A and B are shown apart, each in its own frame.
Chain A
Amino acid sequence: MLHTIIEKNSYQDSIVLMLLTNYLETLDGVNNVQVMMGTPANKDIFKTGGLATDELEKASPNDMVIVLDADSDDLVDEVIEKSKEYLDEQGQADDQGTDDEQRVKTWDKALELGKDAPVALISVPGTYAAGEVEKALDAGKHVFCFSDNVTIEDEARLKNLAHEKGLLLMGPDCGTGIANGIPLAFANRIRKGGIGMVGASGTGIQEVSTIIHKLGAGVTNAIGTGGRDLKAAVQGTTFKDAVALLDQDPNVKVIVAISKPPAKEVRDDVVALLRAASKPVVAIFLGEKPAAHEEGLYRAYTLEETARIAVDLLNGQQPEAIDDQLEVPTIKLDPKQKYIKGYYSGGTLAYEAATLMNDALGLNAQDAGDGYILKKEGYEVIDLGDDVYTQGRPHPMIDATKRKEMMVEAGNDPETAAILIDIVLGYGAHDNMAGELEPAIKKVIADAKAQGRNLPVIGTIVGTDLDPQDYHNQQKILQDAGVILCQSNAQAVKTALALVGKPVHEDLKPILPEEASDAVMPAVSEDLQKLLTVDKFINVGLESFAKAINENGGHAVQFDWHPVSGGNVELQKALIFLNKVSLNKKVEV
Chain B
Amino acid sequence: MVYANVEEANNAVISKIIAGSPFLLDVVPAKEVIDAFNHGKVLLHAGPPITYDKMIDPVQGACIGAAIFEGWADNEDDARALMESGEVKLIPCHHVDAVGPMGGITSANMPVFIVENKTDGNRAYCTMNEGIGAVLRFGANGPEVINRLRWMRDVLGPTLSEAMQMREPLNVNVLIAKAIAMGDEFHQRNIAASLAFLKEMSPSIVKLNINQKDKEDVIQFLADTDQFFLNIMMASAKSVMDGARQVQEGTIVTAMCRNGYEFGIRISGMGDQWFTGPVNTPKGLYFSGFSEDDASPDMGDSAITETFGVGGFAMIAAPAVTRFIGTGGFFDALHISEEMTEITTASNPNFPIPTWDFKGISIGIDARKVVETGILPVINTGIANKKAGLGQIGAGTVNPPMECFEKAVLAYAEKLGFEVGV
In the complex, A581 Cα to B249 Cα: how many Å?
12
Question: A570 and B421: CB pair below 8 A?
Answer: yes
Q: State which of A98-106, A167-175, A215-223, A447-455 sits at the interface with chain B.
A: A98-106
Q: With A93-B359, A98-B357, A583-B5 in contact, do A87 and B349 touch (Cβ < 8 Å)?
A: yes
Question: B2 and A570: CB pair below 8 A?
Answer: no
In the complex, which residues 551-589 of chain A have their Cβ closer than 8 Å to any Cβ of chain B?
562, 564-566, 568, 570-571, 573-575, 577-589
For A582, list chain B residues within 8 Å (CB): 4-5
Q: Does B34 contact A (CB under 8 A)?
A: no
Q: Does A11 contact B (CB under 8 A)?
A: yes
* CB closest residue in chain B, given A577: B418
A89, A104, A584: the one contacting B342 at CB < 8 Å is: A104
A9, A108, A587: the one contacting B2 at CB < 8 Å is: A587
Question: B375 and A578: CB pair below 8 A?
Answer: no
Question: A574 and B409: CB pair below 8 A?
Answer: yes
Q: What number of B residues sit within 8 Å (CB to CB) of A?
A: 59
Q: Does B406 contact A (CB under 8 A)?
A: yes
For A106, list chain B residues within 8 Å (CB): 342, 369, 372-373
Q: Does A109 contact B (CB under 8 A)?
A: yes
Question: A62 and B342: CB pair below 8 A?
Answer: no
Question: B342 and A564: CB pair below 8 A?
Answer: no
Q: Does B305 contact A (CB under 8 A)?
A: no
For A573, list chain B residues within 8 Å (CB): 418
For B132, list chain A residues within 8 Å (CB): none
Question: B373 and A105: CB pair below 8 A?
Answer: yes
In the complex, A583 Cα to B171 Cα: how many Å?
36
Q: Does B392 contact A (CB under 8 A)?
A: no
For A93, list chain B residues within 8 Å (CB): 352, 356-359
Mask for B347-373, Cβ within 8 A of A = 1, else 0?
111111010111110000000110111
Question: B410 and A574: CB pair below 8 A?
Answer: yes
In the complex, which residues 234-260 of chain B have their Cβ closer than 8 Å to any Cβ of chain A?
246-249, 251
For A575, list chain B residues within 8 Å (CB): 368, 371-372, 409
Q: Does B412 contact A (CB under 8 A)?
A: yes
Please indicate which of the listed interface residues A16, A564, A565, A585 has the most CB atoms of chain B within 10 Å of its own CB: A565
* CB closest residue in chain A, given B350: A91
* CB closest residue in chain B, given A37: B174
Question: A99 and B342: CB pair below 8 A?
Answer: no
Question: A584 and B372: CB pair below 8 A?
Answer: no
In the complex, A581 Cα to B359 Cα: how many Å?
32
Question: B374 and A574: CB pair below 8 A?
Answer: no
In the complex, A16 Cα to B348 Cα: how many Å?
15
For A95, list chain B residues within 8 Å (CB): 359
In the complex, A105 Cα to B343 Cα: how many Å?
10
Q: Does A13 contact B (CB under 8 A)?
A: yes
A90, A109, A581: the one contacting B417 at CB < 8 Å is: A581
B173, B247, B354, B410: the one contacting A571 at CB < 8 Å is: B410
In the complex, which residues 69-118 of chain A have their Cβ closer than 8 Å to any Cβ of chain B?
87-95, 97-99, 103-106, 108-109
Q: Does B339 contact A (CB under 8 A)?
A: yes
Q: Does A12 contact B (CB under 8 A)?
A: yes
In the complex, A493 Cα to B5 Cα: how many Å?
65
Mask for A6-17, Cβ within 8 A of B = 1, else 0?
000111110010
In the complex, A564 Cα to B357 Cα: how many Å?
31
Please indicate which of the listed interface residues A62, A93, A578 has the most CB atoms of chain B within 10 Å of its own CB: A578
Q: Does B8 contact A (CB under 8 A)?
A: yes
* CB closest residue in chain A, given B9: A583
In the complex, A577 Cα to B375 Cα: how many Å?
20
Question: A9 and B174: CB pair below 8 A?
Answer: yes
Q: What number of A residues sit within 8 Å (CB to CB) of B?
A: 49
B4, B5, B251, B339: the one contacting A105 at CB < 8 Å is: B339
In the complex, which residues 12-29 of chain B have their Cβ closer than 8 Å to any Cβ of chain A?
12, 21
In the complex, A108 Cα to B249 Cα: how many Å?
22
Q: Does B3 contact A (CB under 8 A)?
A: yes
Q: Does B70 contact A (CB under 8 A)?
A: no
B181, B358, B416: the one contacting A578 at CB < 8 Å is: B416
Question: B372 and A587: CB pair below 8 A?
Answer: no
For B341, list chain A residues within 8 Å (CB): 109
Question: B349 and A90: CB pair below 8 A?
Answer: yes
Question: B173 and A11: CB pair below 8 A?
Answer: yes
Question: B410 and A587: CB pair below 8 A?
Answer: no
Question: A578 and B6: CB pair below 8 A?
Answer: yes
In the complex, A9 Cα to B359 Cα: how many Å?
20
* CB closest residue in chain B, given A88: B349
Question: A11 and B177: CB pair below 8 A?
Answer: yes
Q: With A12-B177, A577-B418, A589-B247 in contact, do A91 and B4 touch (Cβ < 8 Å)?
A: no
For B181, list chain A residues within 8 Å (CB): 13
B7, B251, B334: the one contacting A99 at CB < 8 Å is: B334
In the complex, A564 Cα to B370 Cα: how many Å?
10
For B342, list chain A residues within 8 Å (CB): 104-106, 108-109
Q: Does B413 contact A (CB under 8 A)?
A: yes
In the complex, A106 Cα to B375 Cα: how many Å?
10
Question: A583 and B4: CB pair below 8 A?
Answer: yes
Please indicate which of the listed interface residues B12, B342, B354 has the most CB atoms of chain A within 10 Å of its own CB: B342
Q: With A91-B360, A562-B374, A571-B409 in contact, do A581 and B349 touch (Cβ < 8 Å)?
A: no
Mask for B331-343, Cβ within 8 A of A = 1, else 0?
0001100110110
* CB closest residue in chain A, given B120: A589
For B374, list chain A residues within 8 Å (CB): 105, 562, 565-566
For B420, list chain A residues within 8 Å (CB): 570, 574
Q: Does B150 contact A (CB under 8 A)?
A: no
In the complex, A589 Cα to B251 Cα: how many Å?
16
Question: A571 and B334: CB pair below 8 A?
Answer: no
In the complex, A587 Cα to B268 Cα: how many Å?
12
Q: Does B178 contact A (CB under 8 A)?
A: yes
Question: A571 and B371: CB pair below 8 A?
Answer: yes
Question: A91 and B413: CB pair below 8 A?
Answer: no
Least CB distance from B377 to A in Å reads 14
Please indicate which of the listed interface residues B21, B173, B174 has the most CB atoms of chain A within 10 Å of its own CB: B174
Mask for A310-338, Cβ within 8 A of B = 1, else 0?
00000000000000000000000000000
For B9, list chain A residues within 8 Å (CB): 583, 587
For A579, list chain B residues within 8 Å (CB): 5-7, 368
In the complex, A327 Cα to B178 Cα: how many Å?
80
For A586, list chain B residues within 8 Å (CB): 1-2
In the complex, A106 Cα to B4 Cα: how many Å?
24
Question: A589 and B1: CB pair below 8 A?
Answer: yes
Question: B406 and A571: CB pair below 8 A?
Answer: yes
For B421, list chain A residues within 8 Å (CB): 570
Q: With A16-B358, A98-B334, A565-B374 in contact, do A581 and B1 touch (Cβ < 8 Å)?
A: no
For A99, list chain B residues within 8 Å (CB): 334-335, 338
For B368, list chain A residues within 8 Å (CB): 575, 578-579
For B418, list chain A residues within 8 Å (CB): 573-574, 577-578, 581
For A574, list chain B residues within 8 Å (CB): 409-410, 413, 418, 420
In the complex, A585 Cα to B417 Cα: how many Å?
14
For the complex of A and B, 10 pairs with smallest distance between CB atoms: A91-B349, A91-B360, A11-B174, A574-B413, A93-B359, A11-B177, A577-B418, A93-B357, A583-B3, A88-B349
25 A-B residue pairs with Cβ-Cβ distance under 8 Å, sorted by A, are A9-B174, A10-B350, A11-B177, A13-B181, A13-B354, A62-B171, A91-B351, A92-B349, A92-B359, A94-B357, A98-B357, A105-B339, A105-B342, A105-B373, A105-B375, A106-B372, A109-B341, A562-B374, A571-B406, A574-B418, A578-B409, A579-B6, A581-B418, A583-B8, A587-B3
Known A92-B359, A579-B5; 16 more pairs at CB < 8 Å: A11-B177, A13-B181, A16-B358, A90-B349, A91-B348, A91-B349, A91-B350, A98-B357, A105-B339, A565-B374, A566-B402, A568-B406, A578-B251, A581-B413, A585-B2, A587-B2
